[in-house]
Amino acid sequence: MFTFFLLVGRFLEMRARRKAAAASGNLLKLIPAIATTLDGDQIPVKTLNIGDRIRVLPGEHIPADGKVISGRIHIDESMLTGESVHVVKKIGDAVYAGTLNGDESFELEVTNSKADSMISNIVRLQDEAQHSKPKIAEIADVVARYFVGVILIISAGTWFYWHQTKPDDAFWIMLSVLVATCPCALSLATPTALTCATSRMGNFGILLRKGHVFETLCKINHLVVDKTGTLTKGDIEISETKTFANLNESEVLSIAAALEVHANHPIARAFSGFSREEVTVSDVQNVIGSGIQGNWNSKTVKIGSAIFVVGESRAESNAVYLSVDALHVATFYYRDPIRKESKAFIQRFADAGIKTTLLTGDSLQNAQSVANEIGIDNVIASAKPEDKLAYLKGLDKNDITMMVGDGINDAPTLAGSHLSVAMGGGTDVAKASADMTLLGDNLEKLLEARTLAIRTRKIIRENLAWSLGYNLLILPLAVAGLVAPYVAVVGMSASSIIVVSNSLRLLKEK
């Protein structure tokens, strides 16, 4: 009977633990085993090489990371980002293995092997995060280690006492003490909760890289955010065009696009949709920090800052200028749209008593405009990366900061905060230096993450209280010979199952 109860308890415990750890492993199962070539043949996905071209049929999971080379499609990326809305992909856009194709077939050029795919990187990094223990887990391990030593001493003393009093009962009473007070539940209290919480974070589209994330998320009292690509979409668009000569709007936009195609910055990309094959420029020169010039129809054309294009300084913000033979012909106004959830995101942190600072390298005028619209009072503008890092280091020692940025340009600043979040990991997810990576663009997922972190802390405390309380209660009863060995097995297994089941609550929606 002793062995039966022991095995049943272990079976139920392992079943619960596997359920807690299953979610991240299930991601890899989304990658199909078979891919379809352009000729219609089916081949194993593991044989695909970078540069191979395959066809993805409607309703299929994409077999490999790659870029779209034909078609305009809708992709379900909810398994990565947690967003249920399908994403539109066009030629040249990246798609990821395991995501679900919509109603149209398309051709794909493979860019990563299965081992280097987005999903493989996510699973690997989640495993690394789970092996990086937070302080509370380290403390629990230390307590469990000393607890074992104390129990062994008590067990030996129990046997010695009962051997002197009732020699026939000494062995089973000692055995009951050892079994009943096994620190299994204490050892499971923290790791099972963290495993479940990490799995839920994955459902939110958040990738964890450091073990301290859950602890720090509960403590933050100062949110520091970048502007471009964080509070705003980071996709510059032309909002208005003013013409000042005999060229119409379409013509000046096409000339600007012909010049800007030779540049690689966000404003230049805003003109990409206005290019026309018949409008070309030659002898292009990129004047760093000022603009671009070239020849169009034997005329000198320039686009860039006011001082470069028209020879005078102007106070207009978010504007670039175009001239033809030194004649100012157009002014283009651009904007970086604010994310629709940014205002609610900032407001909910404010409601939780967390102060917010907008820390950006953009001009004060642009930064203040965004801050006013979404409700941020403290603005630090025109800050270089070293200025941002200096600002964080200069904060009060009681400030626990969470920095949200793009993960690449803000790398030094992210490293200087207590908790760092990189927006939109994409293919650089394995290279990001942040503690957390938000795989999608929905800032509200960070609010859900903080709520989950607070729940996780509560669950861990409940687990520790239960496991310690149980052991302190059962120990004197076992020493007194009031607990039979099979009852001790039931108690030990039940305590472990209760702890694991309590942790599994984190996998449920709330």
Structure token digits, residue 475? 């120990």
Q: Which of 446, 414, 448, 450 is nearest to 432 (CA)?
A: 414
Report in angstroms the alpha-carbon separations of 146 from 83, 159, 230, 466.
Answer: 45, 20, 47, 18
Rounded to whole angstroms, the Cα distance separating 394 from 245 reads: 52
CA quadruple 301, 306, 231, 396: dihedral, nearest 10: 140
* Residue among 453, 385, 504, 460 at smallest CA distance from 201: 453
Q: Which is nearest to 411 in space by CA: 379, 386, 393, 391? A: 386
Q: Which strand ranges, in their side-by-side order, compose the sheet holding 291-296?
A: 237-243, 327-335, 319-324, 299-304, 291-296, 282-287
Element of type H or E holding 76: strand 73-76
* DSSP result, 363-386: -HHHHHHHHHHHT--EEE-S--HH
Distance CA 119, CA 23 (A): 12
Q: Is 428 a catalytic residue?
A: no
User: Tokens 């900032």, residue?
Assistant: 346
Which residue is catalytic, options 226, 336, 410, 435? 226
Q: At what angle do helices 444-479 and 342-351 cross, to 10 degrees?
A: 40
What is the enclosing helix (H) or strand (E) of 44? strand 42-44
Q: Which residues are catalytic?
A: 226
